[in-house]
Structure 1
């Protein structure tokens, strides 16, 4: 399995650092890696320049306190794992600082607290990072369950036949299986299938196809999807326990409903493009899914896309 080697935790100093920082520390510790804590914040205006140094000192102290609290929650010793705190103020936007940091220092995973909001989905800053950042991204929502009760799910499409998509699907299964092992041990794998002509055939008088023929075509589509999914899981070589959910319908409808209905805490799925996350599923489907999520999201990007960005 391709593991992460260079993890970046990002903070804007404006939200609770608890959940994502715990994930970042635990992942770095488990894989014996150092962690970069990147604190980026806007530069104060001309009228407030006298307060810039005090403002920065406050944010640094807040970050150090968050690190101390997260280590205590994980029962980690001081300086375990090794964390490098990097502070940068930016005249433009935190997003440009974050993307530049990822590119210049070849980070392969960015972990960040999701910007808080009451409704499902992610705010503009997080969505922009998902579209523009060249590495995989972990956006952490608060999780109320204990660590050993956290529920992990993977969303995959086994019917994509090109190697880029297949390698990404395999990586999704491998990473989600590893994460589930750190949590409650069980992985939920969800995959959507549909017979796209079924609604037309049932609703059109021109089609004039007997119900038994329509049912036969639907059954064939389901069986083909099931076989492809089994082959993908077998190729990934992941260990049990896992439970496979074959969801009939559109991914943008079924996956968010599945996440809510099963109480999933962490969803691992794919992101195909640096300029838009919509490439892994058809059209804008992936973005439609993300806009309905209220759980932690781990959006993986294909290795070849990351390498083409210089990572």
Structure 2
């Protein structure tokens, strides 16, 4: 069982150090996977050339594409690529996330590997970064790469929601855990499970004097522990590697990942779009900002990307 077979690597057009490429080469070697290196480019000065003849505009665009292809091949000279199957694609597109998803769909890639960077300020609400679009809309696994190493015998942390009522949540829990186990097998690492649960409702306790916060908290915690134990048993994950914590997922998951010195966090992401996505985001988007390691985002069963090829 391999974790991936067909990797799409998103290159940074303005960086010499390519975190995603480093990670993808490592993954390709241990999984015997093939690689496609993708660079999406667009020069907005091209919009100012509408007075030129069509063949002149096309020549300008083609020259830019060819220059960047040379840059990618020069970049590869610094890496050991012996024995690896690698294809280079440079595409002309003014919306990078669409270029990435279209390429992933057309090439039947099972994972997109992209470096991620910290996003600050109001721009994250009004102008959604490319990696947020990928978390919401990519049809395959998305691996967002940070600085943390991938040592052997490390830890992979799978974040699940054990007490969800809907069947699609249970299916997503299974998919998250299975992907965590696959990557852990490739990385010779151990899988840990984490489940965050909400704190006691203090407002209710203030209004109802007989409401016992301690009993309520203990009951909720025990329900989550039992549910996580059942899930862990199905996947042969030891009780010592199961963690139930009170708090919001975007707080609990990064804190535990740092405690464990995890190399990878695996969680599910729902393809929320529209105003709710712009204002609220989802758990994966909040978590990735706080993580010090890589994040692997898993989509629900039957997810279809809104981006069309």
> TM class, shorter-chain normalised?
0.7 to 0.9
CA 1:232–1:308 in 2, change beyond 3 Å: closer, same or farther?
farther
Structure 1 counterpart of 2:244: 246
CA 1:87–1:210 in 2, change beyond 3 Å: closer, same or farther?
closer
Structure 1 counterpart of 2:265: 267
Look up the SS of the partner of 2:179 in the other structure.
Answer: helix
Structure 2 counterpart of 1:10: 10
Q: How does 1:289-300 map to 2 (within 5 A)?
A: 289-300=287-298
Structure 1 counterpart of 2:228: 229
Structure 2 counterpart of 1:100: 102
For the 8 Å contact 2:141–2:297, the answer to whether it is kept is yes
Pick aligned residue for 2:182 from 178, 182, 190: 178
Pairwise CA RMSD: 3.6
Structure 1 portions without partners, runs of 5+: none
Structure 2 counterpart of 1:39: 39
Deviation at 1:301, TM superposition (A): 0.6
Q: For 1:116 and 1:253, locate their aligned partners in 2 and report how far apart those are by CA, in whole Å.
A: 17
TM-score by length of 2: 0.77
For the 8 Å contact 1:186–1:242, the answer to whether it is kept is no
Q: For 1:33 and 1:182, locate their aligned partners in 2 and report how far apart those are by CA, in whole Å.
A: 12
Deviation at 1:52, TM superposition (A): 5.5
Q: Deviations over 1:248-297 (max 9, x none)?
A: 12222222333344433321111122637x99xx9844433333334321
Task: Report the more deviating stretch, 42-51 or 171-180.
Answer: 42-51
Look up the SS of the partner of 1:200 in the other structure.
Answer: helix
Structure 2 counterpart of 1:129: 134
TM-score by length of 1: 0.77
Q: For 1:125 and 1:51, locate their aligned partners in 2 and report how far apart those are by CA, in whole Å.
A: 26
Structure 2 portions without partners, runs of 5+: 50-56
Look up the SS of the partner of 2:106 in the other structure.
Answer: helix
Structure 1 counterpart of 2:52: none
For the 8 Å contact 2:269–2:283, the answer to whether it is kept is no
Deviation at 1:81, TM superposition (A): 2.5
CA 1:34–1:182 in 2, change beyond 3 Å: closer, same or farther?
closer
CA 1:17–1:242 in 2, change beyond 3 Å: closer, same or farther?
farther
Look up the SS of the partner of 1:291 in the other structure.
Answer: helix
CA 1:216–1:67 in 2, change beyond 3 Å: closer, same or farther?
same
For the 8 Å contact 1:12–1:94, the answer to whether it is kept is no
Look up the SS of the partner of 2:290 in the other structure.
Answer: coil
